[in-house]
Structure 1
Amino acid sequence: MNKTDLIEHIAKEADISKAAAGRALEALIGGVTKTLKKGDSVSLVGFGTFAVTKRAARTGRNPRTGATIKIKAAKVPKFRPGKALKEAL
């Protein structure tokens, strides 16, 4: 399912226009992104939790040349599914 399919699904299930569903989806994505940028987490009970984790700096290898490279530390998004989502699968 891509973004367009998801918008169509939201519009159908919520009985709203595709434009309104698109705005709602963009608002959700924007809210999650903004909260994660601040370093907070977003919990949707039954669905899951979005959080930011820190990945330490490490060394890696360039697969083409085999040369050792340094990979910088980074903040990465993480999703932990909730109990209801796990049981649904």
Structure 2
Amino acid sequence: MSEARDKTEGTLTRADLAERLHREIGLSRAESAELVEQVLDRITEALVAGSNVKLSSFGSFLLRRKGQRVGRNPKTGVVVPIEPRTVLTFRPSPLLRQQINR
């Protein structure tokens, strides 16, 4: 995985992260893949449990509860109730924003 590929392909995958760990830290490919999975599992577990996740200098995954509201079908104009739900948002840290906007 080259730096040029990172920027042109547009999507960083779990496999890319594991490969980078393998190359830069020297873990085996299996250990690298397992480490990536463990980190993502912990983040998922926290979010499912209702906790926000903050990664310093990167950003925060925030859960927001939306109450029931009324929506409208744009084609027919029929009013439809929208059930309450929880949405996941990401807020980048100021440092990440700064790096992206360079």
Per the normalisation by structure 2, the TM-score is 0.70
Partner Cα separation in structure 1 for residue 29 and residue 75 of structure 2: 45
Q: Among residues 82, 85, 89, which one is paired with 1:71 in the alignment?
A: 82
Secondary structure at 2:35's aligned position in 1? helix
Compute the displacement of 1:60 (Å): 3.2
Residue 2 (1) aligns with residue 7 (2):
no
- Superposed CA deviations along residues 51-89 of structure 1, whole A, max 9, x for unmatched, are 211122233345676644322111122211112211111
Count of residues in correspondence between the two structures: 89
Q: Among residues 18, 41, 49, which one is paired with 2:60 in the alignment?
A: 49
- Superposed CA deviations along residues 11-68 of structure 1, whole A, max 9, x for unmatched, are 2222212211111111111111111122222211101112211122233345676644
Per the normalisation by structure 1, the TM-score is 0.78
Higher relative CO (CA 8 A, sep ≥ 6), structure 1 or 2?
1
Partner Cα separation in structure 1 for residue 52 and residue 79 of structure 2: 34
Secondary structure at 1:53's aligned position in 2? strand
The unaligned stretches of length 5 or more in structure 1 are none
Alpha carbons of 1:24 and 1:57: their partners in 2 closer, same or farther (altered >3 Å)?
same
The unaligned stretches of length 5 or more in structure 2 are 1-11
Identity %: 31
Alpha carbons of 1:61 and 1:83: their partners in 2 closer, same or farther (altered >3 Å)?
same
Pair member with larger Rg: 2
Residue 35 (1) aligns with residue 8 (2):
no
Aligned-residue Cα RMSD (Å) equals 2.1
